[in-house]
Chains A and B, each alone.
Chain A
Amino acid sequence: MGFWEPLFFWIFAIGAVTSSAMVVLWRNPLYSALFLILDFFFFAGLYVLLSAHFMAVTQILVYTGAIMVLFLFIIMLLNLKDDELGEFEFRLHHAVAAVSVIALFAIIVSALLPTQRSEQLLGQVENGRAQAQEALRGEETAFSSKRTRLEGIEDKSRRVDELAKLEATRPRLRVATPAGVKPEGASELTSKECATVRSVDGVPGLFQDMNEEGLDTCYQARVRRWVSKDPSKRMDPAQGKYRRFDPSKPVVIPPRISGEGLTTERGTIRAGKPAGFGTVQPLSVLLINRFVVPFELTALLLLGAIVGAVIIAKRRL
């Protein structure tokens, strides 16, 4: 992870929390809006740390550039005076709100706590897997030596019989779940923790080894599985997760496009630069391939919002 990433994470995190608290606590909406803009900048920084470069740029362009300017414009237009804003007075529902929000936060964090533990559990699992493989290697040596001894038996029917009996005891890797292996000093893991621990598509751990390069390699591998020509190797992106328009046609998502290009059924795709995780190219490809209908619906929604805003705000139509 290095030194800079945690440093910037903590700067952005503390900045985001304090500035969002300021949004709520400031009485004048103008200051709230300015703090919200600052907050959005901190969020954009966090998106960069999460390798979502395009989203970080969009955050600044759309939120701070468009939405917050609209807010500021309305605040200026209304031009609220201090006496119109009213004095702060403590009411019972403020205390109730504070207590319920703290309870909500406690509930969410208690749900998140298993992910915190899974970091160390993952280490145990890796350790256990290594030990199990070591044990398997020993068993396999014993098995093969036994087998050569049995193959030396003269009587054919007895030899076949013995070999079949031996075959049933062929050693297998017994690690299916982390609970199955008990490395020294490790406590027994519950099934719930195992569910948290399991690595997702070969990515070990949470953000373990998740620098830009590793993340991108992982992403490319995943996309390559989607477009693999070998149907047995192809991981169907629609499997259990997405509904496609036409199930008979595979969804084509270009992987990292190298010099020779990628040949799809619609022709060869070439690109000057590789498409990385979080950049514009894979996002646009996803948007146009798999999320066309939501995209169009969003366009429709925005059109409706424009018309609605005009109708509501106009004095006389």
Chain B
Amino acid sequence: MMFEPTLFHYLTLAAMTFCIGVFGVLVRRNAITLFMCIELMLNSVNLTFITFSKYRVDMDGHIFSFFVMAVAAAEAAVGLAIILHVFRHKRSVNVDEANRLKL
């Protein structure tokens, strides 16, 4: 039956959400939204890992997505601190205005 989810369906879904995330990173200028788009991309990668994990009956994919989650947490902490810092100096979270390494 064509409605039954298979490997193809899960991977296409992951590709779709990943592409939406890429589009957001390319188009949006708000730093916080940009970060959220990155989280979205990380999540779709997680979905790919877990899909292949089931397909191969191997739990290593779970471990990898576990690590991705930990890295995403670290990234969110540091990234939001940077956004806060930029906002204090520029009064804006627009990434176009933060165009110098030195504030």
Contacts and interface: CB of A to CB of B under 8 A. Distances in A.
Contact of A302 (B17, B46, B74, B88): B74
A67 B76 contact: yes
A94 B23 CA distance: 9
Interface in A259-317: 277-278, 282-283, 286-287, 291, 294, 298, 301-302, 304-306, 308-310, 312-313, 315
Interface string B16-52: 1111111110111110110111011001001100110
Contact-residue size bin, chain B (C-beta under 8 Å from the other chain): 35 or more
Contacts, number: 235
Nearest to A202: B57
A282 to B, nearest CB: 5
Contacts of A109: 12, 15
Contacts of A313: 81, 84-85
A34 to B, nearest CB: 11
Given A6-B5, A203-B57, A29 B36 contact: yes
B66 A287 contact: yes
A54 to B, nearest CB: 7
A147 B84 CA distance: 87
A112 B11 contact: yes
Contact of A39 (B9, B16, B43): B43
Q: Chain A contact residues (Cβ within 8 angstroms of B): what range?
A: 35 or more
B49 to A, nearest CB: 9
Contact of B43 (A21, A40, A70, A283): A40
Contacts of B16: 17, 105
A108 B13 CA distance: 11
A24 B24 contact: yes
Nearest to A17: B16
A17 B19 CA distance: 10
Contacts of B50: 47, 50, 52, 55
A312 B47 contact: no
A46 B16 CA distance: 14
Nearest to A302: B74
B57 A218 contact: yes
Interface string A71-100: 100110110100011100000011001101
16 contacts: A24-B28, A36-B40, A46-B47, A47-B47, A59-B69, A67-B39, A71-B32, A85-B30, A115-B6, A215-B57, A218-B57, A277-B57, A282-B59, A286-B59, A309-B80, A313-B85
Interface of A: 1, 5-6, 9-10, 13, 16-17, 20-21, 23-24, 29, 32-33, 36, 39-40, 43, 46-47, 49-52, 54-55, 58-59, 62-63, 66-67, 70-71, 74-75, 77-78, 80, 84-86, 93-94, 97-98, 100-102, 104-105, 108-109, 112-113, 115-116, 119, 200-201, 203, 206-207, 210, 215, 218-219, 222, 277-278, 282-283, 286-287, 291, 294, 298, 301-302, 304-306, 308-310, 312-313, 315
Interface of B: 1, 3-13, 15-24, 26-30, 32-33, 35-37, 39-40, 43, 46-47, 50-51, 53-60, 62-63, 65-67, 69-78, 80-85, 87-88, 92-94
